[in-house]
Structure 1
Amino acid sequence: MVIRPEQAPDARQLAIITQQLGRAPRGIQTVAAATQDGTPLVLRMHAIVDDKPFPTLFWLCSERLKIAISRIEAQGVIKALEARLQEDPEFLADYRRSHEDYVAQRWRSMSAAERDIVEHRGYRDLFTQRGIGGIANWEQVRCLHTQYAHHLCGDNAIGRWMDAEHDVLACLR
């Protein structure tokens, strides 16, 4: 079962995240999704990291989820999903709503100071027009990892499809 603690990582979680990423983490705002025992699955990131824009709001940090999703990607499903987006107007509309949810969450999660930096440095379009994982074309799928991270923390059509077709969370059991 996935929980959404939405809190800054504690010392134990920071150690786990460091191990998951293979480096010291930076730019973490909260642990956005975790297992029942508190193991981080998804991190919510700050909009400005190391004084630069960071448009990826949700970062998948779970090694087990990353491996499971990489295996799905290796099957060529991104091309199939993009074809479905072109052929299925309802799926495309649902996917566009996923991007809209992501953009809205990203904007709401910014502090006033981050919004000020975004506005004054000319990054507004980056944060209001680019969708999941910073993608500009909302009819393409860049990465299933970013889609699934958003799915665990928001409303994501691709993530729902991944659960239905591939039972992604089974890798955590």
Structure 2
Amino acid sequence: MVIRPETMPDERQLAIIAQQLGRAPRGIEALAATDGEGTPLVLRMAPIIDGKPFPTLYWLSSDLLKVVISRIEASGVIKELEDRLQHDSDFLAAYHRSHDDYVAARWRYMTEVQRAEIERLGYTEPLRTRGIGGIANRNQVRCLHTQYAHHLCGNNIIGQWLDEHYGVADCLP
């Protein structure tokens, strides 16, 4: 079961996140999704970390989901999805809407101070236009992990497809 209401991570969750990432976490603004036991699944990240743009709004932190999705990715699914995007206009339109949802959420979560800093540093255009995970070409699929993280927090057709065809969500406690 996925719990979506955003919360701030507590000490236990921060320790889990450090283990998941293999380092102390930086740039986390909230837990965007957890499982039924409170284990972090997706982190919502700051738009600027250490003075550099960070276009990945939703970061998949779950060790279990990372393994499951890595196996799917290794089977060549990205090529299959990109072929479908080229030949299925409805799927492509839904994918573009997924990117639009991601960009809108990224901008909506920014504070006025963050927006001013992004403007000052000259990062407004990339953070307003780059899609899921910072991808520039919205007809490509770069990473299933970022797609699935967005699916757990927003509107993502690739994540929906992964659940329909591979039952990814079924592996969660």
Could you say which TM-score interval applies, normalised by the shorter chain?
over 0.9
Structure 1 residue 111 displacement after superposition? 1.0
Deviation sequence 1:39-68 (CA, Å, 0-9, x none): 100000000111211000000000000000
Q: Within 5 A, what are the aligned runs for 1:21-170? A: 21-170=21-170
Structure 1 residue 121 displacement after superposition? 1.3
Who is 1:3 aligned against?
Answer: 3
Structure 1 residue 5 displacement after superposition? 2.8
Give SS of 1:152's match. helix
- The amino acid of 1:120's aligned partner reads R
For residues 34 and 15 of structure 1, what CA distance do their matches in structure 2 show? 14
TM-score by length of 1: 0.98
Structure 1 residue 125 displacement after superposition? 1.1
- Structure 1 gaps, min length 5: none
Deviation >4 Å, runs of 4+: none
TM-score by length of 2: 0.98
For residues 154 and 169 of structure 1, what CA distance do their matches in structure 2 show? 15
Structure 1 residue 170 displacement after superposition? 2.2
For residues 49 and 120 of structure 2, what CA distance do their matches in structure 1 show? 16
Q: Over aligned residues, Cα RMSD in angstroms?
A: 0.7
- The amino acid of 2:156's aligned partner reads N
Deviation sequence 1:14-34 (CA, Å, 0-9, x none): 001011111100000000000
- The amino acid of 1:105's aligned partner reads A
Structure 1 residue 119 displacement after superposition? 1.1
Structure 1 residue 73 displacement after superposition? 0.3
